[in-house]
Amino acid sequence: MLHLTAGRVAGLFSRRGVAALSSSSVKMASHGHGGVTEQADMSVPLYWDRLDTPLPDRPYKDTLSAADKSLKQKEKGPWNSLSKEEKLALYRITFNETYAEMKKPTGEWKTVMGGIFFFIGFTGLVVLWQRYYVYPPHPRTLDEEWQAMQVQRMLDMRVSPIEGISAKWDYEKGQWK
Amino acid sequence: MSLPKPAMRGLLGKRLRFHLPIAFGLALVAAATFKFTVTEPRKQAYADFYKRYDSMKEFNAMREAGVFESVRPAGK
């Protein structure tokens, strides 16, 4: 009974999937449908979208189209001549997600909390079943009358007469204060 | 784009100078609160109890109730 919401599935796949995928057509390791799988080549520098690695080992797009190549040539000149769209295009060549996009809240906590409450509830049902089918009958020392006899004996012995139980009993009137 | 240079040194000292007096103050307050809400009333309760305590009377009451094994209730 897995409770995977769409958001959680997307969260599981987005980081790893995008990091390995790039325009150099390296595929994710699939779950072996017949033997031949393509895996990311871990011996060359890889690209990561990570909060603690601001400059990954290689740019996001490493095979550039003709338009990208001409843009890169233009980047070698003065940057004032670049328009805003060109600057953004250059950013997206080097990086996949911005920090704002990486830090976007995923809503995964809702699934987590939901799962927690569900399983606590289920445990409650298990405990209830246990109370009726597993536990042996009570020992007689837990009966009402036995407990009353115990309290009476404690009062007779003057247990904790200063601040405790016997201090709260009125011995003249024979009742609790 | 010229931001002020952030503090590079003395960070721990600054934190301690701020937090230690507060910590000591809170500890003293906690100790004083406990003293005046728990220990002083307890000492007073014990003093009051023993001011009017008659041990023989209590002993006889306990004896009559039958909780002792060394003495039986007075009578048969």
* ipTM for the assembly: 0.75
Is residue A11 very low, low, confident or very high in pLDDT (cuts 50, 70, 90)?
A: very low
- A166 contacts in chain B (CB < 8 Å): none
* pLDDT at residue A168 tops 80: yes
Q: Which residue, among A74, A50, A54, A72, has the nearest Cα to A63 in the 3D structure?
A: A72
pLDDT, tens digit (0-9, with 9 covering 90-100), for A104-142: 999 999 999 999 999 999 999 999 999 999 999 999 999
- A157 contacts in chain B (CB < 8 Å): 62, 65, 67
CA dist., res. B4 & res. A161, Å (int)? 69
Query: What pLDDT score does A20 carry?
Result: 45
- CB-nearest partner of A158 from B46, B62, B66: B62
Is residue A19 very low, low, confident or very high in pLDDT (cuts 50, 70, 90)?
A: very low
Query: What pLDDT score does A2 carry?
Result: 47
Q: What is the mean pLDDT of residues A96-107?
A: 91
Q: Write the secondary structure of chain A as one string of H (helix), E (strand) and C (coil).
A: CCCCCHHHHHHHHHHHHHHHCCCCCCCCCCCCCCCCCCCCCCCCCCCCCECCECCCCCCCCCCCCHHHHHHHHHHCCCHHHCCHHHHHHHHHHHCCCCHHHHCCCCCHHHHHHHHHHHHHHHHHHHHHHHHHHCCCCCCHHHCHHHHHHHHHHHHHCCCCCCCCCHHHEECCCCEEC
* pLDDT at residue A33 tops 60: no
Q: What is the pTM of this model?
A: 0.53
Both tokens of B2, joined, read: 């010229």
- A158 contacts in chain B (CB < 8 Å): 58, 61-62
Nearest chain A residue to B51, by CA: A162
Q: List, in order, residues 6 or more apart from B73 with CB less than 8 Å away.
A: B63, B64, B65, B66
Q: Does A153 touch chain B (CB under 8 A)?
A: yes
The answer to whether B49 and A162 are in contact (CB under 8 A) is yes
Q: Does A161 touch chain B (CB under 8 A)?
A: yes
Is residue A146 very low, low, confident or very high in pLDDT (cuts 50, 70, 90)?
A: very high
Spans in chain B with pLDDT lower than 50: none
Nearest chain A residue to B58, by CA: A158
- A171 contacts in chain B (CB < 8 Å): 61
Interface size A-B, in CB pairs within 8 Å, comes to 19
**Closest approach of A138 to chain B, Cα-based (Å):** 27
Query: What pLDDT score does A23 carry?
Result: 45
* pLDDT at residue A85 tops 60: yes
Q: Determine, for residues A153 and B67 on separate chains, whether the beta-carbon distance falls below 8 Å.
A: yes
Is residue A34 very low, low, confident or very high in pLDDT (cuts 50, 70, 90)?
A: low
